[in-house]
Structure 1
């Protein structure tokens, strides 16, 4: 398999490799073991063939039940599907209601994102989802990869990727850079959303909010990190206390996902 960060998926957004990052002790995350992405509902036959060749053992879907019902994943052959919602509410508005919510106040989108990131490191539903994700990552002991994703592969997926890399002792600066790669990857999607919502009347406030809702930002990532450090002291305590990883779990993750 090739060693490239952004994968050549035609009918999906933000399909990325987590291999190749260096850890504090000089090892590297193995390529072809963990993928992060947006939803899999629009994949073409060639996209599915690409992921099948990649050897996807598990597809962990972090979206809500409502999101999954509206846009079910298409799965590569032999891939086990795991429904694992980080949040199971908040995705039930109509398009028009969504447009109206963000039509007037240009700060609402960014503030809602910051609130969401804080919830992802404090809420019971997120805690359950991250625990389940790591159970799957720990079960991936054969050849092949785990793919985890949400709708656009940037927020729920972005923090999932961050916690995975933190558990492997990748440094925070590198992890933030990986998170921020979604900024470029999501530019075409932001334009799609602007075009989609223009039929309701496009204000500058709505345009700004759509940008803020469908991009990533350092302030979002930092909101999660500040909350973690205020509540748990450091990321290591968070991994142990919130996600429930033991020292043995972390040692096993390193055995599975790091080069010798």
Structure 2
């Protein structure tokens, strides 16, 4: 397998490798062990073959039950699907209702994203999902990879990737840079959403909100980190107390996912 950050998936968004990042002890995250992505509902046969050849063992779906029902993942029978919703409410409005919600206040989208990021480091449902994700990551002791994803692979997936890299000892600046790679990766999707919602009447406010809802931003990431530091003091305490990782768990994660 080649060592490239953005994977060549034709019918999906934001499929990325987490290998190659250096940790504070001088080791590196292994390539071909963990992928992060948007949903798998539109994958072509060649996309599916690519992921099967990649050796995916587990598909951890962070979307809600409603999202999974509307757009179920395509995958081979060799891949174990693990439904694992970070939030299991919302996502139940029609397109027109969403358009009307964001039509007149240009700040609403960004504020809703910040609120969502704060909820992802405080809510019981998110806590349960992150615990389950790490159980799967700890179980991936054979050859093969874990893929985890949400709808666009940027928010629920973005923080999941951040917590995984934090647990391995990657520094925060590097982790934030990985998170912000979604900004470029999502540009085509933002245009798709603008075209999709134009039939309801496009205002400057709606256009701005669609951008803010379907991109990533430093302010989103920083809101989550500030909440973590306020409630737990530092990310290490958060990993132990909120996600429930023991020192032995973190040592095992490093054994599985790091190399010299």
Aligned equivalents of 2:237, 2:66: Cα separation in 1: 33
What root-mean-square deviation, in Å, do the aligned CA atoms of Structure 1 and Structure 2 show?
Answer: 0.4
Aligned equivalents of 1:188, 1:76: Cα separation in 2: 27
User: SS of the residue aligned with 2:29?
Assistant: coil
Question: How big is the shift at 1:155?
Answer: 0.0
Aligned equivalents of 1:90, 1:163: Cα separation in 2: 24
User: SS of the residue aligned with 1:147?
Assistant: strand
User: SS of the residue aligned with 1:142?
Assistant: coil
Contact 1:52 1:77 (C-alpha < 8 Å) held by counterparts: no
Q: Deviations over 1:81-121 (max 9, x none)?
A: 00000000111000000000000000000000000000000
Q: Deviations over 1:177-223 (max 9, x none)?
A: 00000000000000000000000000000000000000000000000
Aligned equivalents of 1:190, 1:27: Cα separation in 2: 36
Aligned equivalents of 2:26, 2:224: Cα separation in 1: 27
Contact 1:56 1:76 (C-alpha < 8 Å) held by counterparts: no
Aligned to 2:107: 107
Spell out structure 1 runs of 4+ moving beyond 3 A. Answer: none
**Corresponding residue pairs, total:** 260
Aligned to 1:49: 49
Q: Deviations over 1:46-66 (max 9, x none)?
A: 000000000000000000000
Q: Deviations over 1:115-173 (max 9, x none)?
A: 00000000000000000000000000000000000000000000000000000000000
Question: How big is the shift at 1:76?
Answer: 2.7
Question: How big is the shift at 1:77?
Answer: 3.6
Taking structure 1 as the reference length, what is the TM-score of the superposition?
1.00
Aligned equivalents of 2:235, 2:27: Cα separation in 1: 20
Aligned to 1:16: 16
Aligned equivalents of 1:225, 1:75: Cα separation in 2: 33
Q: Deviations over 1:9-66 (max 9, x none)?
A: 0000000000000000000000000000000000000000000000000000000000
User: SS of the residue aligned with 1:129?
Assistant: helix
Taking structure 2 as the reference length, what is the TM-score of the superposition?
1.00
Matched, 1:128 2:128: yes
Q: Where does structure 1 lack aligned partners over 5 or more consecutive residues?
A: none
Aligned to 1:7: 7
Aligned equivalents of 1:206, 1:179: Cα separation in 2: 25
Aligned to 2:118: 118
Aligned to 2:184: 184
Aligned equivalents of 2:77, 2:250: Cα separation in 1: 30
